[in-house]
Amino acid sequence: MAETLIEAAEPLDPVYAAEREKRPVYSNEDLHLLVLQLILSLLLNPHKNSVEKRYYPTEAEAGQKLNVPFVLQCHVNHPGNSKLMPVLHERAKAMGEGVTRLVKLTVHCLFQHELYFNRRRMVAGAFGTVYTCKPPYSDETLIVKLIDMPKKEHDLPLLQTLFNEMTILEQFKGNPCVCQLYDYGVNEEYCYMVMKQYRTSLKSWRNRQTAPLEEMLPLYIWTFGSILDAMQLFSDHKVNHFDIKCDNILLEPLKDDMPDSEFWDSSHGSPTFSVVLADFGESKVYNSENDEHTYRNRGTEFIMSPEMISIAKARYKGDAKYDRRKRSGAGKASDIWSLACLFYEILTGDFLFYDDIWPAFFCRVTVEGQPILKPENIEKVDENPEIIALLEFMLVRDPQHRPSLKATRQKFKLLFGEMLSKYPRMDTQTQRH
């Protein structure tokens, strides 16, 4: 490529243009692109599945560390550099999926956000707003999730979180056990996630069930077994979910043309849906047991494992037991605890450990000797010995002694195998991957 000054898509500020001419990197497009490619390469860890922590500040380091992703975002989206972005995108594709993902989460002009302008809001949460949308290129209604992008250098960086979620969704593209991502990208205001629309969430489905537990138990057990099988897929691919609850499980009708009346009818006790795991904003991709742990709080408070809850306390420097040399983290065993909480939520519709008084909740979950299952919890599951046995098997405070997912699935089949013998095999979903 010839050595020429980059022609901007719109006139540049004269002062900026004068300063720009003093810097040799701007006088050669190939050199400029190589510098950007180098930065993108350095931003990824050696396994290309995560953003290097050394290049962005954590919440505790805000204002004390250079926020490289934010600086890069400002640079690549400046009018003076817009001409290079299509070329950078093509080079990123040649560098691999990880670099391509970084570029798509950084460069505004690569995403056609106008396609999703006509949308209707469904729900707003702490981490984004969800809309329904029927773009001109699609015959079906899609889900569009909008996440606010950082506007200032000292805002909490989102690149790692977004990169992580897109990595997981793209890794399981086409798998019916995982929510399907169709497109994503960013503009000045938002990160857009365009996804398949599912019939409902497990939470909404469970809230509409009015029959007694005894009548619904086989279907509830089948549903939880299906989730256990889907979670094995994540274990095999070294992904920790860290936020397993009914709200984050979606339901897909077994037939595309199934009417609502049939889908919601549970009176016959047979499943009308398959389960789909969703919402990976708190999840973590790891490479080995050496880096499976997270050292920040992730997930919903009342389903957190004791070690996850203890992370914040361990990092509090004012605590008398604070030790800067000790790293308290949560790994894949944390998902087993949350799965037990999910099991109880499916059976009863309630959080197992919910308490209005936070210190009481904290003590019950983390302090040895405190009852894991209270009498009212046992009463809500009809004092069913198999249910109680599985909950006690999974809800072990010490993560070192908590059962693995494989052991949990074996225990589940031992306790409920006879009950589920008339149902479809629960592992067919994972076999289709």
Q: What is the pLDDT of residue 314?
A: 61
Average the pLDDT over each of 60-69, 227-236, 254-263, 274-283 and give the range with the smallest value.
60-69
pLDDT of 432 strictly over 50: no
Q: Which pLDDT score, from 0 to 100, does residue 10 have?
A: 63
Nearest CA to 150 out of 135, 139, 166, 162 is that of 162
- DSSP string of 335-396, one letter each residue: HHHHHHHHHHHHHHSS-TT--SSHHHHHHHHHSTTS-SS-HHHHHHTTT-HHHHHHHHHH--
- Spatial separation of the C-alpha atoms in residues 373 and 371, rounded to whole Å: 5
Higher pLDDT, 427 or 176: 176
C-alpha to C-alpha distance for 143 and 277, rounded to whole angstroms: 15
Per the structure block, which two tokens stand in for 376? 């009212």
The answer to whether residues 333 and 235 touch, using CB atoms and an 8 Å cutoff, is no
pLDDT of residue 428: 41
Instruction: Note the pLDDT of residue 382.
Output: 96
- Under the phi-then-psi rule, with left for phi > 0, alpha for psi from -120 to 50, and beta for the rest, what region is 197? beta
pLDDT-based confidence at 65, cuts 50/70/90? Answer: confident
- Say what the pLDDT of residue 361 is: 94
Does the pLDDT of residue 69 top 60, yes or no? yes
> Quick one: tokens of 313?
């306390």
Q: For 335-343, what is the mean pLDDT?
A: 98
Residue 358 exposure: Cα atoms within 13 Å on the Cβ side? 2
73: tokens are: 């975002």
Asked if the domains 113-196 and 200-431 are classified in one and the same CATH topology, the answer is no
Report the percentage of the chain scoring pLDDT > 70: 91
Pick the range with the lowest mean pLDDT from 119-128, 144-153, 250-259, 382-391.
Answer: 119-128
Rounded to whole angstroms, the Cα distance separating 177 from 277 reads: 6
d(CA 106, CA 51): 13
| Of the candidates 148, 151, 150, 178, the residue with the CA atom closest to the CA atom of residue 165 | 178
pLDDT given for residue 163 in this prediction: 96
For the residues 392-412, what does the mean pLDDT come to?
97
Domain layout of the chain by residue ranges: 14-110, 113-196, 200-431
Q: Answer yes or no: is pLDDT of 364 > 80.
A: yes
Looking at residues 348-373, what average pLDDT do you find?
94
State the pLDDT at residue 312. Answer: 65
Quick one: CA torsion of 338, 214, 207, 339, rounded to 10 degrees?
A: 10
Q: Could you please state the CATH topology (level 3) that the domain comprising 200-431 is classified under.
A: Transferase(Phosphotransferase); domain 1 (1.10.510)
Q: In this predicted structure, which of 25-34, 195-204, 283-292, 309-318 has the lowest mean pLDDT?
A: 309-318
pLDDT band at 427 (very low <50, low <70, confident <90, very high): very low
What is the pLDDT averaged over residues 174-197? 97
Q: Categorize the per-residue pLDDT at 239 as very low, low, confident or very high, splitting at 50, 70 and 90.
A: very high
Yes or no: say if 87 and 168 are a contact pair by the CB < 8 Å rule: no
**pLDDT computed for residue 320 by the predictor:** 52
The residue written with tokens 């040649």 in the block is 94
pLDDT at position 277 is 97
Has residue 317 got a pLDDT over 60?
no
Which of 243, 257, 260, 382 is flagged as catalytic? 243
Residue 394 pLDDT: 98
DSSP per residue over 167-180, as a string? HHHHHTTT-TTBPP
pLDDT at 6 over 60: no
Record the tokens describing residue 246, joined without a space: 């009914």
Q: Which of 33, 29, 28 is nearest to 88 (CA)?
A: 33
pLDDT of residue 57: 85
**Alpha-carbon dihedral of residues 234, 235, 241, 244, nearest 10 degrees?**
90
Residues 6+ away with beta carbon under 8 Å from 180: 169, 173, 174, 195, 196
Whether the predicted pLDDT of 281 surpasses 70: yes
**Percent of the chain predicted with pLDDT > 90:** 73
Out of 6-15, 349-358, 403-412, pick the least confident.
6-15
113-196: what fold?
Phosphorylase Kinase; domain 1 (3.30.200)
Q: Which residue has the higher pLDDT, 12 or 94?
A: 94
**Mean pLDDT over each residue of the chain, to the nearest integer:** 90
Q: Is 243 a catalytic residue?
A: yes
More confident residue, 419 or 146: 146
